[in-house]
Amino acid sequence: MTFVKSAASALALCAALGFATAANAADARASDCIHMAKQVSAALNTAPQGKAVEDARDQAQTARQYCASTMYAQGVAHYSKALELLGKS
């Protein structure tokens, strides 16, 4: 019975943390897009050429499109992916 209570508590905590993370992403603003764009641009300027850089440029382009369409959370997510691809996350 204790295992079931512990598992239920753990599941509830994970769900709450997941909702909190999603809520923070939904709170993204234009300034977040601008900040992330600068980070990605700097990372791209110093990265050695390769597949990861090409993929990061594609992610950054997608991010710019989302941010320009006021879909800031999606834009920030793509900028984050670009940084991850460049090893700067």
Q: What share of the chain is helix, strand, coil (3-state, %, to 5)?
A: 85, 0, 15
Q: Which of 11-15, 42-46, 72-76 has the lowest mean pLDDT?
A: 11-15
DSSP summary character for residue 49: S
A 10 A CB-CB count for 53 gives 16
Backbone angles phi, psi at 71, to 5 degrees: -105, 70
| pTM for this predicted structure | 0.69
Please give the Cα distance from 28 to 26 (Å, whole number). Answer: 6
pLDDT digits (tens, 9 = 90+) for 64-80: 999 999 999 999 999 99
